[in-house]
Structures are given as C-alpha cells and as structure tokens.
Amino acid sequence: MKPTNYLPIILLAFTMCTQRSNTFKIAGHIQNVPDSGIVMLHKVEGNLGRLFMKDTIRNGTFSFEGKTDSIEMLRLVVLGDKYPLKTIEIWIAPGAKTNITGKGHFISTWDVKSNVKEQQEEELYRNAIKELGAESDSLFRLYYDKIDQIEKADNEEEQHRLRTEIRLVRKQLDSLDFMAHRKIFETMAKEPVAQSWIKRLADFAGYSVGYASVTRYPEDNIKLMQELYNRLDEAQKQSPKGQLIYRYIFPMQIIKEGDPMADGILFDPEGNSHEIEQEYKGKYILLDFWSLGCKPCIEAFPEMKEIYREKKDRLFIISITTDTENAWKEGLKKYQLPWVNLTDYLAIEGYASLYGVRGVPYYVLISPDGIVQKMWSGYAKGSLKEKLKEI
C-alpha cells in the first residue's frame, strides 16, 4: 500500500494556526450615531502618532483586522461632527479580540471588552470615571469649537469674547479632570503595585507639573499621589520611573528660574556623548525641547534659524528631542537643523523632566554662568526673537 503523505497537510495546518495566532480583531457597534464618522487607529512613537488604520462608521459599525507579533498600545480617535477630539487606548496582541460598544458620540462612555490583560486593566480605570465622560466630552468638543471660531472671528472684540469663553470652559474641564484624577488615584490605592501601575502614576504625576490650565493643580491630588508613591519599595523608588515620580510630586526637585542649569549626559545623532553643562556653559544657551509630531515646534524652526545665524557667536541653541530615535532622525533629516541636536533616549522622562517639561515646544534660556533665566512653553511667530532680544 502506498503510504499517505500527510506532511503538506500538517505544514498547511501549522501555517494557518500561526497566521491566526498573530491576528488581532477590533469590532465596534455604536448606537445613535450617523454614518460617516472616521475611526482612526494611531501607533504612538514617543510624542508622535502615526496613522495605522482607519475605517468609516456604517450602520453603527466599524472594524479592524491585522497582524502583530507583540503587544502594543494604539490610540483610537473618531473624526466627525459632535465627536470630541479625545482618544481611547486600545491594546492589541497576537490573538487579541476587542469589542467596542456604546451609544452616541461621547467616546469616553463607550465600553471596551478585550481578552488582553492590559486592556482589561485600562478599562478598570476608564470605568472609574465613566460617569463623568459625557459632560467631559461635551465640554471638550465645545472648547475646540471655540478655538476654531477664533480663527474665523471678524474683529478683535469678537476674538476677546471667545478667549474669555474658552478660559471659562477650560476651567470647567480642569475641574472635571481633577475629579477624575482623584477617582483614579482612589482606584489605584486598591490595586497591587506593578510596572503598569508605576507607569500610570508617573503619567499623572507629570500632568500635575505641566497642566495646561487656568486652574492650579489641587494639593489634595498631590497628597494622594504622594501616598501612592509611598507604596513603592526602595528598589522601585530608585528606578528611573520612581525618581521621575518623586521629582514631579515633590516640586522642590524641579528646576525653576534662578536655579543652576541641570547637568546630564546626552547623545548626538552619531551616538557621541555630551555633558551638557561642561561643554556648553560660557555662552547663552537656549534649550529647545521638541517633537516631530508637534506643529508649533516645526513652525518655530525658521525663526530659530534666523536667530542662529544672528547670534551663534554668543548663543548655543540645543534642540533636545522627546521622540524615539527613529522619529528624531527622521525629523533631523527633513528639517536640517544646523545647531546642536541631542537626546538621552528617555523622552520626557529623562533630562526634560528636570525642567518639568510635559508638553512641547518648551524653551529654557540659560545665562553664560549656567543660571536659568527664563522658561516658557508654546510658540507664536516672533516670540523667540522677543524673548532673546537682549542677547
């Protein structure tokens, strides 16, 4: 009897199983929303979000299917009328199955069910603040609608009125955010300390330093974070994340105007190390913390190039990326920055955190004797020349 050849069948079955194991699926079923909303998934590289997949809501549904070899976090955002410009963290992994359900445009109220442990943990904290979701999303949408209206305003009086309204909406948003943070801290107090727990605490500690608001971050929330920090063991406190948290929630650790500049070892694009205080002290220094995904950062470069040409005999410009290495080098190639460009490969968790950097662009002006003279965030045309006019 001729032997049956099972090998090709076995190999085919093995290949099919391997392919299935690498597949992730995301399905959305949302009620009471019209067709045409664009659902987008972005991969996050440092501060840079890159479009990964997108779909259009039809009959209340959307879906994604793809392959991945490892666990990673994506950010989901929906573009369209009435949707807030907020994101949901979506964790994918080989074999991940994710179902998103909800009613209406307020994505903070949507439910996410998944067989991925990291997503289940994320939902624990989303559920803790879900009761605030509709109000927060509504205000968030109103906030950005009014910002858009400023650009279309006919006169300065109208712009002034809109800016006043924006500040009031921002204050309401801050109040809701602070309440949400307290609920998350109370939930964290009941959960075991793990690496993801420590990362979450570091993220919120950073918010408390660089909060872009008209309201000061509440001391009660700081105290709650300090209590959470005290749950770390000594090794966790001495880890990079632990030290970062300490700097953020015990504010004396953050460098302020009038303090000596921070020293640190950073690296140029060729991988050479530089001790920033020792090498550049003696001239004025402008530290420029930036990201490829930051539009104002990029808009500032032409003005910075003019300043560089005019003042390079008495001013060092040092751009420090908060991006991953690949995004950083992509940006350097594209924009051809002629001054010093450095990284410590730690994004905002390394050298940037010593100055309390949470958003970019962020600038630090240092005197020739190494004393911090000015610190500010944001860019508008002409603002850098104005800040540096006395150099």
- Ordered by start, the domain boundaries in the chain are 7-115, 135-253, 265-387
**pLDDT above 90 (res 49):** no
User: For 203-227, what is the mean pLDDT?
Assistant: 83
Which of 99-113, 136-150, 269-283 has the largest mean confidence? 99-113
> How many angstroms separate the CA atoms of 30 and 100, rounded?
8
Backbone angles phi, psi at 288, to 5 degrees: -120, 105
User: For 121-138, what is the mean pLDDT?
Assistant: 96
**pLDDT above 70 (res 213):** no
Q: Say if strands 97-103 and 372-377 run parallel, antiparallel, or are unpaired.
A: unpaired
Three-state DSSP class for residue 171:
helix
Tokens of 105: 């445009």
User: For 186-207, what is the mean pLDDT?
Assistant: 94
Share of the chain above pLDDT 90, in %: 75
User: For 363-377, what is the mean pLDDT?
Assistant: 95
ω before 361 within 30° of 0 (cis)?
A: yes
- pLDDT for 353 equals 85
**pLDDT above 50 (res 15):** no
What are the E-state strand segments in 80-207?
Answer: 88-92, 97-103, 111-114
Q: What is the CATH number of domain 265-387?
A: 3.40.30.10
**pLDDT above 50 (res 388):** yes
**pLDDT above 80 (res 370):** yes
- pLDDT for 3 equals 46
**pLDDT above 50 (res 171):** yes
Helix ranges (H only) for 189-294 are 195-210, 219-229, 234-238, 240-249, 276-280
CA angle centred on 51, ends 50 and 52, rounded to 5° = 110
User: For 192-208, what is the mean pLDDT?
Assistant: 92
- pLDDT for 17 equals 47
> How many angstroms separate the CA atoms of 332 and 329, rounded?
5
- pLDDT for 348 equals 82
**pLDDT above 50 (res 14):** no
Chain position carrying tokens 């540096």: 388
CA angle centred on 255, ends 344 and 337, rounded to 5° = 40
**pLDDT above 90 (res 44):** no
For residue 83, which of 48, 125, 32 has the smallest C-alpha distance?
32
Q: How confident is residue 66, by pLDDT bands cut at 50, 70 and 90?
A: very high
pTM here? Answer: 0.74
Right CATH number for 7-115 from 2.30.30.40, 2.20.25.240, 3.40.47.10, 2.60.40.1120?
2.60.40.1120
- pLDDT for 211 equals 63
Q: How confident is residue 356, by pLDDT bands cut at 50, 70 and 90?
A: confident
User: For 244-250, what is the mean pLDDT?
Assistant: 87
- pLDDT for 210 equals 64
